[in-house]
Amino acid sequence: MNTRLDPVLSRIDADLDPALERLMTFLRIPSISTDPAHKADCRTAAEWLVADLKSLGAEAELCDTPGHPMVWGKIGSGSPHLLFYGHYDVQPVDPLSLWDHDPFAPFIEERETGKVIRGRGASDDKGQLMTFVEACRAWIAEHGTLPCTITFFFEGEEESGSPSLIPFMEANKDKLAADLALICDTSMVSPGVPSIASQLRGMLKDEFTLIGPSMDLHSGHYGGPALNPLREISKIIASFHDDQGRVTVKDFYDGVEEVSAEQLAQWENCGFDEKDYLGNAGMTVAHGEAGYSTLEQQWARPTLEINGLWGGYQGPGSKTVIPSEAHCKITCRLVGQQDPDKIRENLHAHVEARLPVDAKVVWDQDLEGSPAAVMNTARPEFEAARQALSDEWNREAVFAGMGGSIPIAGFFTTILGLDSMLVGYADDDDRIHSPNEKYGLKNFHKGIRSWARILDAVSKA
């Protein structure tokens, strides 16, 4: 019995219909941020959020930027002070012909596995964002206030590269000051398994051109004596990994930590279906580093991937050419404390040391790199939230790695000095960014209840 929390949870159950109605209204606004034709709609969505936050009794305002507006709001008192982030913009809907319904006429669909909310943004990120707002609403309805202080921070450019985000954060550090950031824009590790992100992999992009002869050559006149850049680049690329799948670039693994036994045990019981995951991509085994599980390879190990490789003649028929150039695009996923700048330096040295006489290499100069975001799961709020999620979902919640990157978590650290906690209730098959996006009604309902529990737990932690 938790006399503070229980009435809030009951209130959430009783008020699910109006909460859903509010989400439907929000989903009807076609706030596609990348399309200038929807500029006014983005503003409408931001204004709708400001009004909704004010209806909670929050101080709230729309903040203009050179792009789409930010929404800022604040409510509650006492500690901790949490900064909640979500985004109100959505992805474009084309190709429209692949939708079974109007993307901006949301509705509830009955499926064998339960009811789902259909519509663009249902999962990414309007439905997820509203789980938090509704949890706050229920707390306020029951207790007249929140158990802690909340600052709301919603952007409208997440799906279009967030051009205004960094300048806005730089200019509004005081307004965004808090103890911990909460981000609701991620999936559960598998259906019904609540998860908190423990690490998001970083990224390093690179590209090079290997230049050999001064022009494309006739393979009859020059074949034999000629330096062939395609042959040479193939050798270099083959040298990036050993036969155990380990990257051979010098010091590549500096800053990579092994996953703790406790964490591995959580992952082993997280419901991840390896066969399904591999099978969906036409594979029967994982092809990464030997000695690491599929999940470790995806969440906790760095990679060096060749994303593109080209050169020479690629049209129909054949052409007896020895090309003068060959090209390669590379990205690395980074983990732990790996330093993208040092890796870039060593990668360049690795390639340059393997160039044959008469060859040279030119690197693309404009490609960025960002380190991994490692969450500070040792903070007491993380364990408190994990317990709260376990209580709601009736199974142990997991600190899960994430294979991809979520830049906002890094910006919260570098600009605001904040740790982030990422909790989301989406399912991997929500078809975010694709036609027929959905969000489970149960995910929405339990998502609201989860946040209510987390607010209770972290305000006591």
Report the C-alpha gap between 206 and 157 in whole angstroms.
26
Partner residues linked to 116 by β-bridges: 109, 440
C-beta of 432: minimal distance to Zn ion in Å? 7
Q: Which span sits near Zn ion by CB under 5 A: 4-12, 120-128, 136-144, 393-401?
A: 120-128
The amino acid that residue 103 corresponds to is P
Footprint of Zn ion on 286-325 (CB under 5 A): none
Q: Which is nearer to Zn ion, 191 or 407 (CB)?
A: 407
C-beta of 371: minimal distance to Zn ion in Å? 21
Q: How far is CA 223 from the centre of its chain?
A: 48
Q: Which span sits near Zn ion by CB under 5 A: 111-119, 184-192, 330-338, 407-415?
A: 184-192
* Helix, coil or strand: residue 140: helix
C-beta of 87: minimal distance to Zn ion in Å? 6
Q: Which span sits near Zn ion by CB under 5 A: 25-33, 55-63, 122-130, 376-384?
A: 122-130
In order of 149, 299, 432, the CA distances from 405 in angstroms are 28, 11, 16
125 counts as binding Zn ion under rule CB under 5 A:
yes
Q: Which is nearer to Zn ion, 178 or 406 (CB)?
A: 406
In order of 110, 146, 282, the CA distances from 286 in angstroms are 36, 47, 11
Judge residue 376's burial from the number of C-beta atoms within 10 Å of its C-beta, 0-12 exposed, 13-18 middle, 19 or more buried.
middle
C-beta of 161: minimal distance to Zn ion in Å? 13
C-beta of 422: minimal distance to Zn ion in Å? 11
**How many residues of this chain bind Zn ion (CB under 5 A)?**
3
Length of the chain: 461
The amino acid that residue 402 corresponds to is M
C-beta of 158: minimal distance to Zn ion in Å? 6
Q: Which is nearer to Zn ion, 129 or 135 (CB)?
A: 129
Structure tokens at 202: 């970083």
Q: Which is nearer to Zn ion, 125 or 419 (CB)?
A: 125
Report the C-alpha gap between 73 and 59 in whole angstroms.
5
Cβ–Cβ under 8 Å, residues 422 and 406: yes
- Give the contacts of 442 (CB within 8 A, at least 6 positions apart): 114, 115
C-beta of 446: minimal distance to Zn ion in Å? 19
Write phi, then psi, for 366 (nearest 5 degrees).
Answer: -105, 25
Q: Which is nearer to Zn ion, 86 or 369 (CB)?
A: 86
Q: Which is nearer to Zn ion, 73 or 127 (CB)?
A: 127
185 counts as binding Zn ion under rule CB under 5 A:
yes
124 counts as binding Zn ion under rule CB under 5 A:
yes
C-beta of 293: minimal distance to Zn ion in Å? 28
CB atoms within 10 A of CB 219: 14
456 counts as binding Zn ion under rule CB under 5 A:
no
Partner residues linked to 70 by β-bridges: 63
Q: Which span sits near Zn ion by CB under 5 A: 71-79, 123-131, 174-182, 345-353?
A: 123-131
- Give the contacts of 242 (CB within 8 A, at least 6 positions apart): 248
Cβ–Cβ under 8 Å, residues 133 and 144: no
Q: Which span sits near Zn ion by CB under 5 A: 14-22, 185-193, 231-239, 288-296?
A: 185-193
430 counts as binding Zn ion under rule CB under 5 A:
no
Question: Which residues would be at the binding site for Zn ion (CB under 5 A)?
Answer: 124-125, 185
